[in-house]
Amino acid sequence: MRVVVTGGAGFIGANFVHLALKERPDWTIIVIDKLTYAGNKDSLPDSGYEFYKLDIAIQNQELEQVIKSCDAIVHFAAESHNDNSLESPWPFIESNIIGTFRLLELARKHHKRFHHVSTDEVYGDLELDSSDKFTETTPYKPSSPYSSSKACSDMLVLAWIRSYGLDATISNCSNNYGPRQHVEKFIPRQITEILQGRQPRLYGSGLQVRDWIHVDDHNSAVIKILESSTMGEYYLIGANGEQTNMQVVKKLLKSLGKSEDDFVHVEDRAGHDLRYAIDSTKLQTTLGWRPRYSDFDAGLEQTIEWYRNNQEWWEDAKRVTENNYLKKGH
Is there a contact between 129 and 149 (Cβ–Cβ < 8 Å)? no
Q: In the bound complex, what is the minimum distance in angstroms from residue 137's beta carbon to ligand NAD?
A: 19
Query: Out of ligand NAD, ligand DAU, none, which partner does residue 201 contact, by CB within 5 to 8 A per kind?
Result: ligand DAU
Q: Site for ligand NAD (CB under 6 A): how many residues?
A: 30
Query: Out of ligand DAU, ligand NAD, none, which partner does residue 100 contact, by CB within 5 to 8 A per kind?
Result: none
Q: What is the 3-state secondary structure (H, E, C) of the chain?
A: CEEEEECCCCHHHHHHHHHHHHHCCCCEEEEEECCCCCCCHHHCCCCCEEEEECCCCCCCHHHHHHHHCCCEEEECCCCCCHHHHHHCCHHHHHHHHHHHHHHHHHHHHCCCEEEEEEEHHHHCCECCCCCCCECCCCCCCCCCHHHHHHHHHHHHHHHHHHHHCCCEEEEEECCEECCCCCCCCHHHHHHHHHHCCCCCEEECCCCCEEECEEHHHHHHHHHHHHHHCCCCCEEEECCCCEEEHHHHHHHHHHHCCCCCCCCEEECCCCCCCCECCECCHHHHHHHCCCCCCCCHHHHHHHHHHHHHHCHHHHHHHHHHHHHHHHHCCC
Under the criterion CB under 6 A, does residue 27 sit at the interface with ligand DAU?
no
Under the criterion CB under 6 A, does residue 20 sit at the interface with ligand NAD?
no
Q: In the bound complex, what is the minimum distance in angstroms from residue 305's beta carbon to ligand DAU?
A: 20
In this complex, which beta carbon is closest to ligand DAU, that of residue 30 or of residue 138?
138
Segment 154 to 173, residues that bind ligand DAU, using CB under 6 A:
none
Nearest to 247 by CA among 268, 266, 263: 263
Under the criterion CB under 6 A, does residue 35 sit at the interface with ligand NAD?
yes
Segment 64 to 103, residues that bind ligand DAU, using CB under 6 A:
80-82
**CA of 19: how far to CAs of 142, 171, 204, in Å?**
30, 18, 36
Query: Out of ligand NAD, ligand DAU, none, which partner does residue 189 contact, by CB within 5 to 8 A per kind?
Result: ligand DAU
Query: Out of ligand DAU, ligand NAD, none, which partner does residue 293 contact, by CB within 5 to 8 A per kind?
Result: none
Under the criterion CB under 6 A, does residue 13 sit at the interface with ligand NAD?
yes
Q: Where in the sequence numbering do the catalytic residues fall?
A: 120-121, 146
Under the criterion CB under 6 A, does residue 39 sit at the interface with ligand NAD?
yes
Under the criterion CB under 6 A, does residue 173 sit at the interface with ligand NAD?
yes
Among positions 7, 145, 206, 238, the unique one binding ligand NAD when judged by CB under 6 A: 7
Among positions 120, 154, 233, 322, the unique one binding ligand DAU when judged by CB under 6 A: 120
Under the criterion CB under 6 A, does residue 38 sit at the interface with ligand NAD?
yes
Question: Given the rule CB under 6 A, which of 18-26, 114-122, 159-167, 282-290 is the region that contacts ligand DAU?
Answer: 114-122
Is there a contact between 106 and 35 (Cβ–Cβ < 8 Å)? no
Using CB under 6 A, list all residues that contact ligand NAD.
6-7, 9-13, 33-36, 38-39, 55-57, 76-80, 95, 99, 117, 119, 150, 173, 175-176, 182
By CB under 6 A, name the binding residues for ligand DAU.
80-82, 119-121, 174-175, 185-186, 189, 201-203, 208, 210, 245, 269, 276
